[in-house]
Amino acid sequence: MKPVRLKVNIEKRLANFNLSVQIEVGAEILVLFGPSGAGKTQTLNAIAGLTTPDAGEITLDGTVFFRSSGAPNKASTVNLPARKRRVGYVFQQYALFPHLSALENVAYALWRQPHAQQRAKALLERMRLAELAHRYPHELSGGQQQRVAIARALAMEPHVLLMDEPFSALDSEIRGRLHQDLMKLQAEAELIVIYVTHSLEDAFTVGHRLAVVRNGTIERIGEPRDVYPHPTNAAPAEGVCDTLTLASTQSR
């Protein structure tokens, strides 16, 4: 089977800067790394269909998510609605439906589909949550909630999984285990994963490739070791120092 590729080439005018992102992602974990407000979340939202770029193109192999016609009236612009893109999205603050149990959250995307309950149960089991299926989100810890959120996104069998600082509110031990889960999932399902973070440690742990985002553009992209040759060094490659400072001051 030919590997699926997500191609993003978009422009969008934002309040403080212009977003201009060109990336191509295959079955891998691409980390978007940079300070808050650099345009990372905007990029994810554009891919998911939650915001509309001003110009450009987003395609997943033959499927056009977005293609601007270039015409000023946007008449022939293609803009596939979010619900038809089948792009999994894991949000920073979990965003589980508070009125639904863990199982019902996972089964959400399987509405009126055959065997929804069994499929949702299988996903929860895969995320080691089987015994918590009937708990409500407020009865779960942060790490458990985020695992439910991942299972919920995977229920519709997406090719693409977007993660916006998914584990930033969790302590480092739980984060480490969730990172292992994620890498296993990605390899098994050959998922295209775009993982947004402002933690360089996270970026190095999960990233097959690393893209540094700043002021709406991709400053550098490549394998983590090539982008930041000595990330733990006190005097690292140029640009790392201030990025790290920014990241630490802006993390909650």
Partner 1 sequence: MNWSALLLSLQVTVVATIILFLIGLVLGVLLARYRLPGQIIIETIIFLPLVLPPSVIGYFLLLALGRGSPVVEWFHVSLLFTWQAAAIASAVVGLPLMVQSARAAIANVDHVLENAARTLGSSELQILWRVTLPLARRGVIAGLILGGARALGEFGATLMVAGNIPGRTQTLPLAIYDAVQARRYEQAQMMVIVMTAIAFVGLWCVRQLERPLPKRRRRSVE
Positions touching partner 1 (CB under 8 A) are: 48-50, 81-89, 91, 93, 95, 97-99, 108-109, 111, 138-141, 143-144, 152-153, 155-156, 174
Q: Closest Cα to residue 198, out of 238, 149, 245? A: 245
Residue closer to partner 1 (CB basis): 82 or 244: 82
Residue closer to partner 1 (CB basis): 67 or 86: 86
* Distance of closest approach, residue 8 Cβ to partner 1, in angstroms: 16
- Number of residues assigned to the chain: 252
* Distance of closest approach, residue 110 Cβ to partner 1, in angstroms: 9
Residue closer to partner 1 (CB basis): 91 or 204: 91
Residue 188: CB atoms within 10 A of its CB come to 9
Residue closer to partner 1 (CB basis): 139 or 190: 139
- DSSP lists the bridge partners of residue 7 as 24, 59
* Distance of closest approach, residue 131 Cβ to partner 1, in angstroms: 13
Residue 48 phi, psi dihedral angles, 5° rounding: -75, -20
Alpha helices in 62-195 (DSSP H): 102-106, 116-126, 142-154, 172-189
Judge whether 49 and 65 are in contact, CB under 8 Å. Answer: yes
* Distance of closest approach, residue 138 Cβ to partner 1, in angstroms: 4
